A = this chain, B = another copy of it.
Amino acid sequence: MNIIEGVRLGSAAAGIRYHNRDDLVVFEIAPGSATAAMFTRNRFCAAPVTVARRHLTVGQPRYLVINAGNANAGTGSAGIAVAEATCREVATLGHCLPGEVLPFSTGVIGVPLPLARLTAALPSLLREVRADGWERAARAIMTTDTVPKLVSATFEVEGARYRVTGIAKGAGMIRPDMATLLAFLATDAPLDGDETRHCLAAAVDQSFHRITVDGDTSTNDSVVLIATGRAVRRATPAGLLAATQSAVTAACMELARAIVRDAEGANKFITIEVSGGASEADCLAVAYTIAHSPLVKTALFASDPNWGRIIAAVGRAPIAELAVDRVTLRIGDVEVFRHGEPAPGYTEAAGAAAMKERDVLLRIDLGTGSAAARIWTSDLSEAYVRINAEYRT
């Protein structure tokens, strides 16, 4: 794990919902850093999302404050007040403006966030921030995650070495309950605000926007990239932005895949590649229709090469044109369906063998264009139902 000069983290057990574990994290960001953030598109966004969006327009953040166990969503104006009070408390302790603090929450919806427990834990938390606090923070933001998600890498440009480190939590990609996607990355590469935003948007488009567990967009999804610029004090080399973007994208992809692997009740990691489409949007529409089909997901859970379900999902995907007589489907390397007909030579045994793997690749060629897209998803197991039916009751 590479520390990022200019970023220090603290974690503490505030007892917000969980007992005997950390549930509160603070990021301290050095002055002069550039921070970009992207948020859920859910119109019922949580109070911290509303507040963080507003604070980002004020100035560069100096602190992030993150709690697990309570999403502070569906909490109305009282929830906004709690998020703002949390920022004020951090600002007082950290000697900055409340608008320089961004709040993040993940957990149960519709329950008041106990402000007193947060504020009681904050003073020691801010005193104890450490540059090597990433791993502990990765554990502190978990909800139904079973493993912490941490990524760290270095990259070089013109002989200068840079670092990128990030953490995330998920359990479902996009979940309105106890499993919001949160990701926080930092690099010591020197990017300005626009470059940081551009870099994050490009990375998210290829990573967190390419995964789904259940299609449920969370009220709290947030991804943050901090560029401290502390690595190099000399003139910015040519190609730095491209190299940073590439490294941040790779880090986001690793975190995104880790989230899918740890999806609630997931037994399999599914890659869906759609090629030959008229546009990338068409390819994504086909891929997501397959990924969200409960029947495809249960067949994957059962390792059943029930390809009719995949073809039926392709057939109902919301795209303008589909030439059914050009569609080809492969499971792994096994050609199942070719140009709209069962593939000659296909056997159930071959299909079953390809489906048995923990990692399954579904490849659909639409045969009409040159666009392509790839997404990652999980299967749908009885455990998913159990986890989501038994929680809270």
Contacts and interface: CB of A to CB of B under 8 A. Distances in A.
A222 interface: no
Contacts of A391: 304
Given A71-B308, A302-B390, A177 B342 contact: no
A44 B315 contact: yes
A266 to B, nearest CB: 13
- Chain B CB count within 10 A is highest, among A306, A324, A337, A384, for A306
Interface in A151-184: 175-177
Q: How many copies of the chain does the oligomer comprise?
A: 2
A380 interface: yes
Contact of A308 (B110, B294, B301, B309): B110
A126 interface: no
A246 interface: no
Interface stretch (A135-143, A190-198, A213-221, A250-258): A213-221
A108 interface: yes
A216 B293 contact: yes
A75 interface: yes
Contact of A384 (B294, B304, B324, B340): B294
A316 B324 CA distance: 31
Interface of A: 41-45, 71, 73-77, 108-110, 175-177, 214-219, 292-295, 298-299, 301-304, 306-309, 311-316, 322, 324, 327, 337, 340-342, 380-382, 384-386, 388-393
